Structure 1
Amino acid sequence: MKKLRTLLPVFLSAFVALIAVNAGYAFAASTPPAEFVVDVPEEFFAASIASVGDGRYCVSGYIFHDDVPNNSAMVVLVDAHARRVLWKTDIPYAKDHYENSSVDCVRSGEFYYVLTQERTDSLEAQSDTLLVMSKISSAGKLLKSQRVDVGRDVWPNLFQAGPEGLSLVGGASTDSIDRGGKRSLFVAHFDRDLSRTQLVVLPTGAFWDPSYAKLDGTSLTIAGGFLPNEHAKGAANEGYAVSKIDLSRARYVWSTFVAPPNRQAQGAVSLPDGSMAYVGVGDDRLLLSVIDASGHVARRLSAPRTICSVDALGVKDGKVQIVGTRCGETHSMLLLDIDPTSGTVLASRDIGDGAGAVSFDDDAVWMFVGKPGSDRKLFRRVAR
């Protein structure tokens, strides 16, 4: 008995050590790898990455057909923990149309919903752009597709899922953008079977994609290149604008223009205090403007330019984070940390080759990378 009591602490110590090792292994295994190869066609190009929970990411994009040439939409579900593609689903376009591409994806319950843009003609001047929503099963089976019928030429600003269904914010024109037409901003709600339940239209201009939008009940905050209607009041107000809209009354609460049109690259992101940070790339400076919750420009700041694109924006610990392409190096990307109170670049990190799609998610930046000269497609995780 005495010998047993003597050995008991040794056994307990070994048992605790084993638990610690196993727990450490389990914790390490739960962290997705830094990079892994994804099984997709060589001709697949990624447009966006959306986190859909459980360590899974829905990658929207298209297959490029060199013989036509045109694009056909494909959406890919990647499991970052299992390091593999769970399914790849093609989304066809109408037989009398020219091409399509998936641009965003959300998850609601067991179903996935994909937004695609569809072009009607190979000639830009004769083509209209349509939006189509598709419902996909958890196994990747295409169940249903439904056109978003709000105008002749339509484009998205925001696509999201909520407790009551799907919401889509976008712009529409009575004619194609190249030929003019009356432009409108719209907010449409749909149930989980893609039937439209509500539509609000403001025929006072629209925001061009890419843009940033945040929908909170009947309040919409949106930022992007504003496209006014010709000959309308305020038609001269063209440029990058940030606006707050009361959807219940279908009117603008305020609207602030922060940059001229045709700036090289730009974007916006919400800050924790309710303000908005605008980021733009000028001829030789990286520009930052902060618009407060009442729509006033609180400050305008700048720093030396090291990036020539704005591929993704995020906020962490009060800092604005930007992913962009290093100036003069097409395939090299940087992650910048910027102090929104001073405009100072606090940190700059090289995060590798250029990516077709970049997205911030919690503590990481996710990138879908197609290495130059290689048919390998990579899914990359960079810690923030």
Structure 2
Amino acid sequence: MKHIRARVSAALFLSLSLIAPRGFAASADIVLDVPAEFTASSITAAGEGLYCISGDVYHDEVPNHSAMMLLVDTHARRVLWKTDIPYAKDHFENAGMKCIRDGEFYYALTEERTDSFAAQSHTQLIVSKISSTGKLLKAQRVDVGADVWENLFEAGPDGLSIVGGTSTDGVDRGGKRSLFLVRFDQDLARKQFVVLPTGAFWTGSYAKLDGTSLLISGQFLANPGASASLHEGYAVSKIDLGKMRYLWSTFVYPTNIDAQGAVSLPDGGIADVGVSGDRLSISVIDAFGRVARRMSMKSTICSVDALGVKAATLQIVGTGCGEKHAALLLDIDPAAGAIVATHDLGDRATGASFDGDTLWTVVAQSNGDRQVLRRVTR
């Protein structure tokens, strides 16, 4: 579990309204002019038709990965800039986690792996400041522990916020685990630092900040010997970061599921999705931490890459099981507890992200050598 995982950021959600789901239509693709070995991890709206794509390029000769960020103007239908994010000379590789805009600047969060051997490697987070023309201006390490991973990266009135987990021992997330919030200003000076040394949520967890309140869902890693370790698994928790305490925590799935994801609901609740074998499980947790509904159904996806809400429908992007490994989008009717539609997004679709009435994804075209940004109208 020590290797870098390109992760797709959590989906933006829409207000629920009781209208029937509409069909999907793909618009013309925008050529990205990136190496065939590029894999997108997230696509983030930056306003005015701009989208910042983060990811990494695989280098077979090493082998390792290196982070790359792109800014795409979807109105002009072209890439404005591509920027490689270097990693420390004594480290092994890095990967792009997310790229966001704050004012006139862009900020890239990357994860560095210190060594090619997992047993000796630590992970570290780096925030890089990028100009509007793609010039790398500054980099700042998120220095909160021996091993550090990210659950959330966003810009807001309080600055650049990062929520994540850390451990005192970089080997296999050992030692004492903590959840943290750190905030930076636009010049990457640290403004705030909060640590809860009561366990952490693993990489890939969904997190949402609302002032000092944090809603988080994912694999919970309890500290050795703590009473919470008896219930280690996938959980949804609400935390008051101002008072540094958990308001509630609800166990969702055991640790033996294959994939998990979550999305906020307009009523303050959260839909948590888990995949195990050929079964798709959905748990709806209300704003008070109570399980409002659980359902299970047979499914054809083996991953949970992005989640969104459209009308009365939950939408899930995941990789299909079997030899083809095409990206699929499933429409789920929570009231019926059933999959009502399946859409094929194509092979090698990465970075899937919902934004309003649109699903964005990076897709490799038929020959595999050219990658494009694809807009799918929901």
Q: Same fold (TM over 0.5)?
A: yes
The amino acid of 2:143's aligned partner reads D
The amino acid of 1:175's aligned partner reads D
CA distance in 2, matches of 1:177, 1:291: 34
Whether the 8 Å CA contact 1:220–1:244 is kept in 2: the answer is yes
Further displaced range: 276-285 or 97-106: 276-285
CA distance in 1, matches of 2:270, 2:323: 29
Instruction: Give the corresponding residue for 1:175.
Output: 169
Higher relative CO (CA 8 A, sep ≥ 6), structure 1 or 2? 2
CA distance in 1, matches of 2:84, 2:344: 34
Residue 107 of structure 2 corresponds to residue 113 of structure 1: yes
TM-score between both structures, scaled by the size of structure 1:
0.89
Instruction: Give the corresponding residue for 2:371.
Output: 377
Instruction: Give the corresponding residue for 2:75.
Output: 81
Instruction: Give the corresponding residue for 2:304.
Output: 310
CA distance in 2, matches of 1:350, 1:36: 19
Superposition deviation, residue 210 in structure 1:
0.7
Residue 271 of structure 2 corresponds to residue 280 of structure 1: no
Distance 1:210 1:330, change over 3 A: farther
The DSSP-based 3-state class of the residue aligned with 1:262 is coil
The DSSP-based 3-state class of the residue aligned with 2:349 is coil
1:94-173 alignment runs, 5 A limit: 94-173=88-167
Instruction: Give the corresponding residue for 2:85.
Output: 91
Residue 365 of structure 2 corresponds to residue 362 of structure 1: no
Cα displacement string for residues 44-78 of structure 1 (whole angstroms, at most 9, x for unaligned residues):
22121111111111111112222221112111111
Divergent runs of 4+, >3 A:
31-34
Whether the 8 Å CA contact 2:277–2:302 is kept in 1: the answer is no
The DSSP-based 3-state class of the residue aligned with 1:248 is coil
CA distance in 2, matches of 1:117, 1:263: 25
CA distance in 2, matches of 1:205, 1:45: 31
Superposition deviation, residue 329 in structure 1:
4.3
Given the alignment, which residue of 325, 339, 344 partners 1:345? 339
1:197-236 alignment runs, 5 A limit: 197-236=191-230
Whether the 8 Å CA contact 1:330–1:354 is kept in 2: the answer is no
Whether the 8 Å CA contact 2:54–2:70 is kept in 1: the answer is yes
CA distance in 1, matches of 2:350, 2:191: 34
Runs of at least 5 residues in structure 1 that lack an aligned partner in the other structure: 1-30
Superposition deviation, residue 342 in structure 1:
3.1
Further displaced range: 138-147 or 178-187: 178-187
Aligned residues: 354
Cα displacement string for residues 191-218 of structure 1 (whole angstroms, at most 9, x for unaligned residues):
1111111111001111011111110001
Superposition deviation, residue 36 in structure 1:
2.7
Whether the 8 Å CA contact 2:233–2:253 is kept in 1: the answer is yes
CA distance in 2, matches of 1:140, 1:283: 43
Residue 260 of structure 2 corresponds to residue 293 of structure 1: no
Runs of at least 5 residues in structure 2 that lack an aligned partner in the other structure: 1-24
Residue 251 of structure 2 corresponds to residue 251 of structure 1: no
Distance 1:287 1:177, change over 3 A: farther
Superposition deviation, residue 373 in structure 1:
4.7
CA distance in 1, matches of 2:366, 2:198: 43
Whether the 8 Å CA contact 1:207–1:226 is kept in 2: the answer is yes
CA distance in 2, matches of 1:249, 1:89: 40
Distance 1:294 1:325, change over 3 A: same
CA distance in 1, matches of 2:54, 2:340: 32
CA distance in 1, matches of 2:109, 2:140: 10
Superposition deviation, residue 326 in structure 1:
2.2
Cα displacement string for residues 17-54 of structure 1 (whole angstroms, at most 9, x for unaligned residues):
xxxxxxxxxxxxxx994323211123322121111111
Cα displacement string for residues 161-190 of structure 1 (whole angstroms, at most 9, x for unaligned residues):
012310000000001251611100001111
Instruction: Give the corresponding residue for 1:63.
Output: 57
Residue 180 of structure 2 corresponds to residue 192 of structure 1: no
CA distance in 2, matches of 1:118, 1:373: 31
1:262-281 alignment runs, 5 A limit: 262-281=256-275
